[in-house]
Structures are given as structure tokens and as C-alpha cells.
Structure 1
């Protein structure tokens, strides 16, 4: 859960794994920012789903609206400020738990072990994204350098103030090099 944003996010893979037909999505025309760095995200649609916190003896069910996105993530869904408000959640960041008022007492959500596993998976995912981004930038840089090299080594035209000189006058290969005739003796 993340109390810093105004959207509940669900990944389309999660929706598919839950067996929910995509025709249940409500169309949306509002892109959002902040999920993918420096990029705008257009959700595939919105869906209202009943969410339950607790166990069979002490539980709360509320309907939340999720923005369904088509890119991969390390979580199934990300619940944010609208979820906190609807469930009256009190986050306990020190203990990595959420406290939710229930009909028979406080419902505690989260275990340190599960949060740790999610964080490790999320860091691995972030590393992959960063590495992929660096590789894409490197590929683009190499492509530009290759293009520049092709420009400079393509067809070399003799310019004014230069002349061709044999690399090895005693050789029969006839390899030449072009040198400037207007250079100073220094």
C-alpha cells in the first residue's frame, strides 16, 4: 500500500489471473503520471472490485475503483489513498503493517517477511528496468556513432589544399593517404 497517491492501480496480468473479463473495464480518457518515471500512462480502463481485509471472524469488505494498466509490475495491485480513506486504514510504517477497524476489533494487515520479499522482488524489477534503459541508451549512442563513422568514412572527396601521397612508394599496391598542403611546418 502507498498512501502518497490518489490512485489504486491494478496490473492487467492480475486481472487476467483472477479470471475477470476485460469487458468489465469502464473506459477512461484520463492519463496519469508518476508510475513510470518521466512518462505518461494511459490506463486500459477502470474496474470496481470488492476488496476484503481480515479473516472469516473479523473482516471488512469495501468496493474500490482500480485503474488497470497494461505494463508489468512486481505487485498484483497497489492500493493508495482512496483505499486508506474507504477502509479508515492507519499505516504503521515502523512495523510495516496496516491497522483497519473491523466489526470485532482491529484487523492487522501485513507481515514483515512478506513485505521484505516484495521489496526484494521490487528492487530486482527496478534493476532490470534501469539496466534495460541503460542498454537502450547505449544502443542508441552506438547507432549514432556508427552513423557518424559511416558519414566520415563514406566517399572521401579530395578537397582544396590536400593531395594524395603513396603510403609505400616501393609497393605495387598503390595505397594512398590524403594529406593537407596548407598545414604549417609545425
Structure 2
């Protein structure tokens, strides 16, 4: 934008989350007049901006004044946010299904009823104790 660093005020607010795992300190702050709306219906406000240099995979990222680029970035961010929302909705749905399955499993746990005509068979015939299996009394001895 052609504004010199001497026009910036000191900034005390670092950013977190811009560069993963790092704290980023702005170069400074500047107040700029911004016009919102169209020529027929507009409003001008002075906004304070944090001025930064961000490194990207191919060097310093430059922010320009292209409306087309800003629109493309906005669309990309919206699409990303919608994808995240769908992921969260799917995760919530899967969590609900898992909880329902666990509730169902717990509801029927311990409700097993043995069939009629059963007999107890010790697990180890050589050392009879209270550990036994229930099997059908009508099974062939073989």
C-alpha cells in the first residue's frame, strides 16, 4: 500500500494461531479510513489494523487490495467452515449411535435366560468345584 513503517504505532498485542505453534508480533498498528457500501449508499469509518508480515511456504505473504482476491479467500473460508461443520455433525451423529449401541448392550446384559432341559457340566471333571457350564440335557453324550 506504500505506507512507510514510520507511520505505524507500536502494537502490544501478539497473535496466536496464525503460525501454528508460534506467537506472532505485529509490526505495528495503523488507522485507515474504510468505506463500506456503494456510491449510492455508503458509510466511512476509521478502523485500526494490525500490520504484519507472515511467512508462507514461498516467502512473505503480501496482502493486497484486490476485491477479487478477498472474495476468493472469503469463499474458501466459508467452504472450509461448512466442511468443518459437516465433520462436526457427522462426529456428533456417530457419537450418538455409539452411545445408543452401548445403552442397548447394557440394557440386555445379564438378561440371558437358559433354555429348558439343561444340565450342569463341570469345567474340569477331575477337580469338581462350583465352576460349571450349562448345556442342553438332550445332547448326545458324544
Task: Return the TM-score normalized by structure 2.
Answer: 0.46
Task: Return the TM-score normalized by structure 1.
Answer: 0.36
The structure with more radius of gyration: 2
